[in-house]
Amino acid sequence: MAISINLYLDSRGSRTNSKSINQEFPIKATITKDGATAYITTGIKVLPIHWKNRKVTGRKDKARLNDYLDSFKSRIRMMVLEGQEEGRYYYMSVTEIKKDILVQMGKGEKSSRFLEIYDRFADSRNSERTKEIYRVTGRKIRQLLPHPEKIQMNHIDLDWLENLNELLILKGNNGTTRCIDFRNIRAVLRYAEKHKLIQENPFDYFTLPQGNSPNRALTVDQLRLLMNADVMPWERKYLDFFKLSFFLIGMNTEDILHIERIEDGRINYVRAKTHKQISIKVEKEALEIIDKYKGKKYLLNILDTYSCTHHWTAKVDAALKSIANRNKLPDVTMYWARHTWATLACADLGIDLSTISDALGHQPERRVTLAYIKRKDFSKVDEANRKVIDYSLMPLSVERSAEP
């Protein structure tokens, strides 16, 4: 694949007459590939008599102009060589190559739509097999995430990656498959970072999935068994804490402990892990537990006694594992509440992934104000949580009797 770069005095469209002799025309860089040519203006105009053998001549400033033109041409040539070495320009048309070069030069319009950039990058791969691997990942993103066409480059942060990972797990993608998907996304983000389309790369903080990730979701029967397990008096508060997390759509320990109040029947908070604003309706089952353990400064009394959330988390996880082992269940920890909620919602109840994504607190906006949270319609999420709670609390015999 040969791509040639030259300089050209663009006098196209001019009339051959005495007036054209005194008319200046723009000097442009030409990019030619497969017999097609695209033009990039240099910003310099000269008379036809001052242009010979692709050089400015007969002018006092010819040395300065020729130095600039040589530098301009060399800059484009380096971009083309780099694009060829990376394989990006192999299947691009000359017009697409021109657009890419203009973006690098800061003259073109930089698209900020993630999937538009992703598709362009995928199409630039050399191998058809490699292209298809990228396209598979692109199709998954379009199927799993709400309003995929609206995803902007600056939406791709750590929370976005973790959200996608959770949704891929819910759809049954193993660790190896997910690793391929995230490697594809990482390659596109590295390209975007290189061309100043993003300020930082979230893969600096995201760990690629490796092999088959451990299952951290209970089946509905296992969950019902855990929730109704006989426990020692001192274990009750730990099991209640797990149940509260589940009833609050898998809210993590750090966030639960720092809830200060309930407003209009909802908990509005900033998720500690991702700094996203989230709003959850407090269902009656959650409220019963909250009323049972009322605190002084915070909604719950845990931090009235414990100075460190890590100490409390360790206590809860140890107690949950002990309760689970006695009931022949997996080694449950607090983290299981979130995954169990999402798995039951998706696999058992067929709740759409868009609603699950919202429920888990994955808004596409980078910054979401509290005013936005209060205006947003959470009816679908509230309805989903009610369905999951009712399903989890349903006696096994009742569920089976309802089957045809």
Which residues contact residue 303 at a Cβ distance below 8 angstroms, ignoring those fewer than 6 apart? 257, 258, 295, 297, 309
Give me the long-range contacts of 375-384 (CB less than 8 A, separation at least 24): 376/279, 378/266, 378/279, 378/281, 380/355, 381/249, 381/280, 381/281, 381/355, 382/281, 384/345, 384/349, 384/351, 384/355, 384/356, 384/359
Per-residue confidence (pLDDT) for residue 399, from 0 to 100: 47
Per-residue confidence (pLDDT) for residue 369, from 0 to 100: 45
Domains of the chain: 3-104 (no CATH), 114-204 (1.10.150), 220-401 (1.10.443.10)
How would you class 204 by CB atoms within 10 Å of its CB: exposed for 0-12, middle for 13-18, buried for 19 or more? exposed
- First vs last C-alpha separation in the chain: 64
Per-residue confidence (pLDDT) for residue 360, from 0 to 100: 81
The one-letter amino acid at 130: T
Per-residue confidence (pLDDT) for residue 238, from 0 to 100: 96
198's tokens: 């993003």
Per-residue confidence (pLDDT) for residue 216, from 0 to 100: 80
Which residues contact residue 270 at a Cβ distance below 8 angstroms, ignoring those fewer than 6 apart? 276, 277, 278
Q: How far apart are CA 125 and CA 227, in angstroms?
A: 51
Q: How far apart are CA 336 and CA 309, in angstroms?
A: 18
303's tokens: 């931090």
* CA distances in angstroms from 4 to 10, 41, 226, listed in the order given: 17, 16, 70
Q: How far apart are CA 61 and CA 65, in angstroms?
A: 6
Per-residue confidence (pLDDT) for residue 246, from 0 to 100: 97
Q: What is the pTM of this model?
A: 0.55
Bridge partners, 38 (sequence order):
31
Per-residue confidence (pLDDT) for residue 106, from 0 to 100: 65
* CA distances in angstroms from 134 to 90, 105, 158, 193, 220, listed in the order given: 16, 27, 20, 19, 35
3-state secondary structure of 267: strand
Per-residue confidence (pLDDT) for residue 196, from 0 to 100: 77
Give me the tens of pLDDT residue by residue for the chain, a chain 404 residues long.
588 999 999 887 555 544 556 788 899 999 999 889 999 998 899 999 999 999 999 999 999 999 999 999 999 999 888 877 766 676 678 888 888 788 777 665 555 789 988 998 898 887 788 889 999 999 999 988 877 887 888 778 887 898 888 888 888 888 888 999 999 999 999 888 887 778 788 888 888 887 655 668 899 999 999 999 999 999 999 999 999 999 999 998 989 999 999 999 999 888 776 667 788 999 999 999 999 999 999 999 999 888 778 889 899 999 999 999 999 999 999 989 999 999 899 889 988 887 888 888 765 444 444 444 455 668 889 999 999 999 999 886 544 444 43
Per-residue confidence (pLDDT) for residue 184, from 0 to 100: 94
Q: How far apart are CA 354 and CA 380, in angstroms?
A: 10
Per-residue confidence (pLDDT) for residue 144, from 0 to 100: 87
Phi/psi at 41 (5° precision): -70, 145
A 10 A CB-CB count for 391 gives 16
Nearest Cα to Cα of residue 280 among 387, 360, 200, 177 = 360
317's tokens: 């996880």
Per-residue confidence (pLDDT) for residue 362, from 0 to 100: 60
Residue 332 near residue 226 (C-beta atoms within 8 A): yes
Q: What's CA 370's distance to the chain center, in Å?
A: 22
Per-residue confidence (pLDDT) for residue 275, from 0 to 100: 66
